Amino acid sequence: MKKHDAIVIGAGHNGITNAAFLAKAGLDVLLVEKNDYIGGATVSRNLHEDWIYSNCSYVCSLLRPEIYRTLDLAKYGLQVVPYGGTVTISQNGDYLGSYIDHDVSRREMARHSHRDADADVRYWRDIMRQCRFIRQFLLRTAPDPASFKPRDLLELLHIGRKFWGLGENVIYDTMRFYTMSISDFLDEYFENPLIKAAHAGSGIIGSALGVMSPGTAYVLLHHAMGDVDGTVGSWGFARGGMGAISKAMHDCYIDHGGQTLAGSGVDQIVVKNGKVTGVALENGDEHHADIVVSNMTLPRTFLECMDPADLRPEFLDKCRNFKIRGSSGKLNIALDGVPKFTALRDNQELMYTDMHLIDSIERLERAYDDWKDGTWSRDPYIDMLIPTLTDPTMAPPGKHFMSVFVQYVPPKVKGKDWTDADRDAFGQTVMNQIEAYAPGFKDLVVHAEVRTPRELENEVGLTEGNIFQGELTMDQLLFNRPIPGYAQYRGPVKGLWMCGSSNHPGGGVMAAPGANAAREILMSLRKPSNVPEGWLDD
């Protein structure tokens, strides 16, 4: 059988990005995917009649513009449409809207608290300062602080210089920001519970931490540092659903001569004499290459798809201890019409925004306590959008698609695997929660897909259903991600590479790990890099 230059496992957005950069550099690349469709968690699925669901990831902001440009995604049909603002709906019938127009937003905030409306200016100034600082390290490989290689020392020096360049006061702000809980951080700015709750949600989305856990302020950053059309912190819909992103990337990849095999997963990464030689698929086929790039999660790559004899026991222990706990679930709902939220009354244009159902830090934290006890939140935090109001291509005329992200949902229920009955009960909890805010909502539901961490793991391969391929805590960030000593995309076996979100800089539809891994691979082959590095527009 013909030998390829490289095999990439997993056609999620990072795998495709990685494969596309390698193919663009002239390598003969084979991309293998277990599902019979590509995209991983960046996907548009047609699961009910003429509805198209973004059934995993649902909004776009983190996708690096450098990657967008280098892979020419616009040419391949990708359009990202920004949507305006958010609304946080409270149980008592009130709401807090935020709008594209700053003056309107400010007036709305002042309706709840004048003091907080003033504080909000300081708050966003400080957040954006942190964003600008972290952004410049996303498309770079993290240095290994325990290494004495010139490259690592230079990179450490580079980070140190940038850090020092912030100036004394901002340095302290930065250190405090990284180690604080989002709840304590918000307390330093705001007084109104609804305003605090509106800001706090981003601190926990996708993470197994409560708003009062130190370290959540950073998670917030992860949700604020993206941009759409150069507007930092803005979010948008991919026209046609999130699958449009992976499709455009994939079209680029195919255009550069890449091949894709979908429909059979990898059974084993084959290692001979301490070197990777290829992959054995579940359908029995074997494909050969000296370079194998895994876009699978860390545990899936090393604990499920490799022979333990090929790896050192300490390395395997570290893979077992990798924190990749699922914390969220999702409902994808086909609607007969637009639901009416009591609180929004005559302000229905807020339906076009990102809607949050929460009104206090305490409720958010109590939702987390349920997760700690091994159940889904009885009073869950809900983040939902109706993309069809902005992009009507996703549903039949007059009908709508609603994406409902739910936090918290544990990877196991009271220590036991999820059952269908559990899943249905969880779905009911969420439906009831929405119904309480929008009476008559349930009558509009035409079809609903309920996704717990079990579905996410089984379909998309995200271990324990963790959407970031590993938690974003201090022990798993930067040079610690995924595990100390292996943060430079190079696996523990010669020829084996990692390009998934388990690696720096982590999850979200960012494509940075895939790009960074491609740069490292090309560097190891002594080929000129075609992968953007650093930050171009800051």
Partner 1 sequence: MIRGSRSIQIIGAGHNGLVCAAYLARAGHQVTVFEASSQVGGAAITREFAPGFKVSAAAHLVYMLDPGIEKELDLASHGLEYARTGLQTISLSEAGDHVRFNGDDVDGVSEGDREAMREYRRKMQHFAGIIGGLHNRVPARLGTTDRPDLLELARLAFNIRRLGKNDMREFLRIAGINIYDVLQELFENDALKGALGLDGTLGTMLGTRSNNSVFCALHRYSNGGRYQLPKGGMGTVSNALANAARAFGAEIHTARPVNRILMDFDRATGVELQSGEQIEADLVVSGADPKTTFLKLLGAQNLEAGFAHKISNIRTRGNVAKLHLALGSVPDFTGLDPALSAERLVIAPSLQYVEQAFNHAKYGEHSRRPVMEISIPTLDDPGLAPAGKHVLSANVQWAPRELKGGWSAAHEAFTESVMNTLERFAPGICSQVMHRELLTPQDIESEFRIEGGHWHHAELALDQSMMMRPVPGTAQYKTPVDGLWICGAGCHPGGGVMGSAGRNAARAIIERSGT
**Closer to partner 1 at the Cβ: 103 or 373?**
373
Both structure tokens of 63: 């996708």
Q: Is 319 in the site for partner 1 (CB under 8 A)?
A: no
Amino acid at residue number 173: D
| Cα diameter, the chain | 71
Q: Is 176 in the site for partner 1 (CB under 8 A)?
A: yes
Q: Write down the least CB distance from residue 376 to partner 1, Å.
A: 17
Q: Is 167 in the site for partner 1 (CB under 8 A)?
A: yes
Both structure tokens of 529: 């890099």
Backbone phi, psi, residue 118, to 5° = -70, -45
Both structure tokens of 502: 């388990």
- Stretch binding partner 1 (CB under 8 A), from 109-117, 163-171, 395-403, 490-498: 163-171
Q: Write down the least CB distance from residue 202 to partner 1, Å.
A: 17
Terminal C-alpha separation, the chain: 47
**Closer to partner 1 at the Cβ: 151 or 372?**
372
Q: How many DSSP H helices and E strands does the chain contain?
A: 17, 20
Q: Is 347 in the site for partner 1 (CB under 8 A)?
A: no
Q: What is the DSSP letter of 344?
A: G
Q: What is the DSSP letter of 388?
A: G
| Spatial distance between the Cα atoms of 131 and 128, rounded to a whole number of angstroms | 5
Q: Write down the least CB distance from residue 369 to partner 1, Å.
A: 5
Q: Is 179 in the site for partner 1 (CB under 8 A)?
A: yes
Q: Write down the least CB distance from residue 424 to partner 1, Å.
A: 28
Q: Is 209 in the site for partner 1 (CB under 8 A)?
A: yes
Contact 324, 463 (CB under 8 A): yes
Identify the residue whose tokens are 């509106």. 198
Q: Write down the least CB distance from residue 526 to partner 1, Å.
A: 27
Pairing mode of beta strands 86-89, 354-357? parallel
Q: Write down the least CB distance from residue 184 to partner 1, Å.
A: 6
**Closer to partner 1 at the Cβ: 391 or 464?**
464
Residues numbered 435 to 494 that lie near partner 1 (CB under 8 A) are 473-475, 479-480, 484-485
Q: Write down the least CB distance from residue 362 to partner 1, Å.
A: 6
Element spanning 331, H or E? strand 328-335
Q: What is the DSSP letter of 81?
A: E
Q: Is 212 in the site for partner 1 (CB under 8 A)?
A: yes
| Spatial distance between the Cα atoms of 389 and 394, rounded to a whole number of angstroms | 10
**Closer to partner 1 at the Cβ: 4 or 490?**
490
* Angle, CA of 350, 243 and 70, to the nearest 5°: 105
Q: Write down the least CB distance from residue 475 to partner 1, Å.
A: 5
- Stretch binding partner 1 (CB under 8 A), from 31-39, 61-69, 273-281, 366-374: 366-374
Residues numbered 119 to 148 that lie near partner 1 (CB under 8 A) are 145-146
Contact 429, 408 (CB under 8 A): no
Binding residues for partner 1, rule: CB under 8 A, are 145-146, 164, 166-172, 175-176, 179-181, 184, 187-188, 209, 212-215, 321, 323, 362, 365-366, 369, 372, 473-475, 479-480, 484-485
